[in-house]
Amino acid sequence: HLCVLCPTTTSVFLSTGPTVSEPLVKGEVGQNVTVPCFYNVESTQDVTSMCWGRGSCPISKCFQTIIWTDGWKVTEQYNSRYTLKGDLTRGDVSLMIVNAEEGDSGTYCCRVEILGWFNDQRSNHEVVIEKARISTASPRTYTSEQTSAHGSTSESSFTTMSTWPSISALEVPRAVSISLNMSVLIPRQQYSEHWLYIGTGLCAVLLVILILALFLT
């Protein structure tokens, strides 16, 4: 019974290798976000397989595998938005997230399989995808510029004040109508007064003639 448990306990202990936590990677929704990951390649013999997965690096392989490569080319790709754009033969296995979404936020595991026992290079990468920020800058205020005799410009602020009464668009036809009526009314009034004087004079003449006629009779 003890012999069965001993290898298992030893195996669990030995498989716990170092895992590096890389700096936070931030990106915006709709952009292409690159999660960097490299390993040392000095000769073609150093080129090796690796995988990317969601979540922290497990004891072996990758959880929720995204991409597998044999070191020379991508052999498995589970989502077309996750791709490798670097030079694999030079150890550049950086992950590119195309057209990133908020759901792409989380932990990613980059696991490079190195020959030997428990030599795999493991690194965890935290990725945060945020919505694009909307600019809230206040509108600019422009001032007039006056050019001096020496060619320099100086800003001057001025306010124009009007003493004319404001007339709305609806009041304009009414004002024009009143003006026209007044211009017509003044000549008519002058003509009325002229004929009033003539009528009064004629009445006076007729009255004098009538009195003379009665007196002579």
Q: Which two tokens stand for residue 185?
A: 């009314």
Neighbours of 34 (CB within 10 A): 13
Q: Is the dihedral of CA 25, 27, 30, 33 positive or negative?
A: negative
Task: Work out the pLDDT band at 138, boundaries 50, 70, 90.
Answer: low
**C-alpha 77, offset from chain centre:** 34
**Domain spans of the chain?**
24-130
Q: Which residue has the tokens 């995204």?
A: 66
What's the predicted TM-score (pTM) here?
0.55
The mean per-residue pLDDT over the stretch 118-126 comes to: 94
Considering the segment(s) 24-130 as one domain, its CATH architecture is Sandwich (2.60)
Mean pLDDT along residues 208-212: 85
Answer yes or no: is pLDDT of 107 > 80.
yes
User: Which stretch of 41-45, 156-160, 167-171 has the lowest confidence by average pLDDT?
Assistant: 156-160
**What values do phi and psi take at 166, rounded to 5?**
-80, 135
**What average pLDDT does the segment 196-207 reach?**
81
If you average pLDDT over every residue of the chain, what do you get?
Answer: 76
204 Cβ contact list (under 8 Å, min separation 6): none
Question: Model confidence at 164, in pLDDT bands (50, 70, 90)?
Answer: very low
Q: Which position has the higher pLDDT, 91 or 216?
A: 91
Q: Which amino acid would we find at residue 80?
A: S
Of 48-62, 149-163, 164-178, 190-204, give the lowest mean pLDDT range.
149-163
Task: With a cut of 60, say whether residue 172 has pLDDT above it.
Answer: no
- Find the mean pLDDT for residues 160-180: 47
Asked if pLDDT for residue 99 goes beyond 70, the answer is yes
Q: Where are the alpha helices (DSSP H) in the chain?
A: 2-14, 171-216
Q: What is the pLDDT of residue 88?
A: 96
Lowest-confidence segment of 31-45, 77-91, 156-170 by average pLDDT: 156-170
Residue 86 has pLDDT above 60, yes or no: yes
Asked if residue 125 lies in contact with residue 27, where contact means CB atoms within 8 angstroms, the answer is: no
